[in-house]
Structures are given as C-alpha cells and as structure tokens.
Amino acid sequence: MYIIIVGAGKLGYQLSETFSLKENDVTLIDINDEALQKANSSIDLLTINSNGMNLEVMKEINIETADLLIAVTNRDETNMVIATMAKKMGCKKVIARIRNPENTSQIKHFMEHLCIDYVCNPELEVAKEVGKILLKIEAVNMEDFAKGRVSMFEYKLTSESDWINKPLWRLTLPNRSLIVAVLRNDEMTVPNGETVLAEDDIVFLIGVKEELEKHSKSELHLPPSRKTKRVMILGGGRAAFYLAKILTKSGVIVKIIERDKERCKELANSLSEALIIHGDATNIDLLLEEGFTDVDGVVLFTGFDEENILLSMLAKKHKIPKIITKVSKLNYVNIIDELGIEIAINPVLLSASEITRYLNGGRILSIAMLLGGHAEVMEIIAQEGSKIIDKPLHKLDLPKGIIIGAVVKGKKVYIPDGKTVIHSGDRVVVFCLKEDLSKIEPYFYKTKRGILNELWNSSKNHR
C-alpha cells in the first residue's frame, strides 16, 4: 500500500511506525525537520519537509496513486483541507484528526461535504473510555464485547482470595467463563490446568457478563464498589472538557483544576455544571482544600506524564477508589506497571486502535489493548472461506498464545471447547499475546495481506 501521513507528532510517528512494513510505501510530511529526522532514524519511510497543503508537493508524490492519507497536524482546519484536497486529487481513502469541541459537533457535516472518509478525535476517545470506567459500579476492570453480552474481567488477587495457591483445575469458575491470561511480575502468560495462582497475580477472565458480575460480588473477596458521585479532574485540556460533559450529564459532581487562567475562563463559559478552579494541580494544600481525599475518582489529565504519575501515586496513598492516569509516552509503560498504577490511558494507542477498526471495514468490531501492550482482545466476525470456520477447534492447531474466549451465535453465547465449531458470521472474542498477533490473520481471513496484516505485524517489527 502507498500511505501518506501528514503531521509528525506523537500520533503521526506511531502511525508511521505501524504502517512502515516492507509491503507498504510510507511518506511522512511535516515542516518540523527535527521530528522528521527522528522518524527517519528509526522507521523505514520517506520524509518530506513541507506544508501538507502544498499542491505541487502533493503532485510530486503522486497523491492520485495513494491508497490512504492520514492528516494529523496540530490544526483541525489544516487536516480538513489536506484530507479534502487529497480525496479530490484521487487518493482512495482519507482520514483527518479533528479535536476542537466546536468542530466535533459538526463532524457528520464535514465528512459528508468535505469528502472525508473517517475522523479521529483522540481526546474524545480518551474521555469516552475514562467516562465508561468511572460510571461503572463493578469493583473490577471490565471490557464489553458482543454488544455487552460478553465481558473480559481483570482483577488483582488478594491474600483473601480463594483462588491463590491452587492449580486452575481445582478452581470454581463462574458459569460459562474462561481464564485466558495471568499477569505476574510484568509477564503475561496463557495458563493451563496446572497453573497455580499467587497473591498479586492479575487474572483475566472472558465469559458471559451476568455470570462474571454475579461471581465477582459473591466469591472473589473484592473490595466493595460504590457509585461514582464526585470526580476531580486535574488538568483542563480538551479531554477534560469532553469528560466533564459526559460525567455531568450523568449527574456526577465535577471539579476541574487548571493552571492556565484563560483556559479556566473558557471552561467556565462552556461547562456551567462543573466547578472550574484556577490553580496548580501539584499544590497539595490546594488539592486537600478542594476535597481531594473525599472524591470517588481522580483523573490525571495534566500535560505532563511525570505530573500525572506522581499525582496518581498521591491519590493511591489517600485510597481514592478510582484513579485514572493519562500517559502519552509509550516508554513509561513499564514504569507504570512497577508503580502499580492500575488504570492508564494512552491517547495515541487508543486512536491507533480506532483507526485500525475503521480500516478493517467492520471485520474487527472492537479491540481492547491490555495495559503495557502485553496482549490484545479482539471481537472478530468470522468470514466465509477462512480457516477458523466449519471445523472443530481442536483440529485448528492454534498457537498457544491465541485463545478463543467466546463465540456468539445470534443471541447465544458459548464458551468454546475443543469440539466447538465456528461458522461464517459468528462473533468470536479472541485473546492474543503480543508476540502471536501476526499469527491470527491466517485463521480469520482468506489472505495474509492487507491492512490488518500490516497493523498486527507492526507490533513485532519495530525498527
């Protein structure tokens, strides 16, 4: 594929790395020479120092032959113009990043009249994800699949758990559920019947949502959950604005602390139901004065990863029930694991996941990237002609790092065994370790080529 990416920021860099495989020709355009040099030194691509709206440059790089253009500069208007221009010049598909709240409300209009195929908004996606976590009342982390019928539960085993120091075959699992992975000492493994669980292990179950919820409340000795009524957001950027809208609409009391006075005025004018406080989020006296220790959730949205991590540790010390930390630098993932930060959100990975789903035309319905990038859980529609269909699972010889967690046939959910047969059109929830991602496609798709193969393989081919 011939792919053009305009904008060499964090998302542009990540997408460039993802797509830069031997089957792809990737061109990265930006006016920032330093950013281009960074990309050029570690990624196999062509870099061009130019404005993405330069018509002559677009002609020189043969935009009319491009399969995909992604515009992710730091200005919405520039991204819209570039995407529209590329589409009208013959580019097959165009994606634009649009982030400003004023523009977000008009996205459908932009897509229709400006010929933009897909719009990504990292801050809005982050807000939706965080809102989903905060508004849940379960005491475990959970991801839904198959329109809410199947869930993946993730929780840490305590010393009181009945599951520790026992092999899996002796455990009483929830009805219609399966343990697909165990995270121990920063290493994700797929267990077998002889695997013995230990205190502090993080266990991942996939199963029927109602059964998992019932079991988590009655047998797992989890701390009691409570409804989120008060949330403090530290940092008042776009993600904070979107999240405050989501939370206040659900009746949650929201406080935002932001150090920029002008930004505080903007937020106060547009968020009448939230309390906006001008101040430094790292000022502990201010936090305590504003009720930091009495909230049900704290969201760390400052513009600095280091501040977010330190503030999350402070919140953990004060035993705030829900702590969500935004971390933009991928190389901080291991640090997050070591510090025991349970919920971390990476806007770049979230956006890459959304773009992945779009480019696969609905074949992948949802993707959950597990903390640290150890594994992914995907909901895939089985296709006619693929290896996975019309034969018992025990005959497929799936790699050990790939687990079929659930199969949805119509309205019925099945936890598969070796005799289960998947048919075309079934929804399949698949757990996969990172090192085995590239092995999935031959089982679920007719060919080994295409965008999906390129995206999955990128996780193993960092340059």
Write out the chain's pLDDT in tens, 463 residues.
Answer: 899 999 999 899 988 887 876 578 999 999 999 999 999 998 889 999 999 999 999 999 999 999 999 999 999 999 999 999 999 999 999 999 998 888 877 888 888 888 999 999 989 989 988 998 888 755 456 667 777 778 888 777 878 778 888 888 888 787 888 888 888 877 788 888 899 998 888 888 888 877 777 766 555 555 555 688 999 999 999 999 999 999 999 899 999 999 999 999 999 999 999 999 999 999 999 999 999 999 999 999 998 999 999 999 999 999 998 999 998 887 776 677 677 777 888 888 788 777 866 776 555 555 555 545 567 787 888 888 888 888 898 888 888 888 888 898 888 888 888 899 999 888 888 888 877 776 777 787 664 444 444 444 443 333 2
The conformation of residue 161, written as its DSSP 8-state character, comes to -
Task: Produce one character per residue of 192-207: b if its CB has 16 or more CB atoms within 10 Å, e if not.
Answer: eeebebeeebbbbbbb
Residue (of 293, 285, 309) closest to 235 by Cα position: 309
Which amino acid is it at 297? G
Tokens representing residue 143 in the block: 């991801």
Q: What is the pTM of this model?
A: 0.68
- 3-state SS assignment for residue 256: strand
